[in-house]
Amino acid sequence: MRQNGKRLLVGQIASLGGVKTDTLRFYERAGLMPKTERTAGGYRAYGPDAVERLRFIRKAQALGFSLDQVKRILRLRQSGSLPCDYVIELAEQRLKETDQELRRLKQFRAALGRYVHHWKRTANHDACAARQFCNLIEEIDVGAASLPAKRRIGGALKK
């Protein structure tokens, strides 16, 4: 992809690919983007396939593939192999993980719903004032509560 007959620079490629320049540089260091030529001024100058490759990486990430998995897909393709069977295998595994996560989230939602219902009926400002932080949370037995201790409410899920 050239603009006015010139190769595109890191900022241009990043913008066209919908990422920040730091992300593009990270992808290059991680081996997801090929090393590029440098201009006389030392700037990275990308060829015509860079934007499509960058968009592919972002699409694969949106499907839940890790960067290592994306790198393997790209390497399979570069070696002349068709990566479709591997992609299907990855997607099937991701689907299983998603189903498991949905089950955990349903359990979490049920437990949280029970707590909210209970708290609304029993909230006591005197009991709260007597505790260090908030008695509603301090009184929960996380192990018995079916609440995933390593997860955040309303945010990104972490294992």
3-class SS at 123? coil
Q: How many CB atoms lie under 10 A from the CB of residue 24?
A: 24
Structure tokens at 13: 């490629």
Structural domain including 122 reads 98-145
**At residue 100, does pLDDT exceed 70?**
yes
pLDDT digits (tens, 9 = 90+) for 120-157: 988 888 888 888 888 888 888 776 655 555 444 444 43
* Rounded average pLDDT over 22-45: 89
Residue after which a domain boundary falls, among 18, 43, 63? 63
Residue 72 domain flag: no
Residue 158 domain flag: no
pLDDT of residue 64: 93
Residue 156 domain flag: no
| Domain match, 59 and 109 both | no
| Domain match, 56 and 102 both | no
* Exposure of 119 in the CB half-sphere (CA atoms within 13 A): 15
| Domain match, 103 and 59 both | no
pLDDT digits (tens, 9 = 90+) for 38-96: 888 888 888 878 999 999 999 999 999 999 999 999 999 999 999 999 999 999 999 99
Q: What is the CATH number of the domain that holds 24?
A: 1.10.1660.10
pLDDT of residue 147: 57
Question: Helices 21-29 and 50-62 sit at what angle, rounded to 10 degrees?
Answer: 90
Q: How confident is the model at residue 30 (pLDDT cuts 50, 70, 90)?
A: very high
Residue 26 domain flag: yes
Residue 10 domain flag: yes
Domain total of the chain: 2
Residue 127 domain flag: yes
| Domain match, 7 and 59 both | yes
Residue 129 domain flag: yes
Residue 68 domain flag: no
* Rounded average pLDDT over 89-113: 95
pLDDT of residue 148: 55
pLDDT of residue 125: 86
Extract the runs of DSSP E, i.e. beta strands, from 4-158.
6-9, 37-38, 44-46
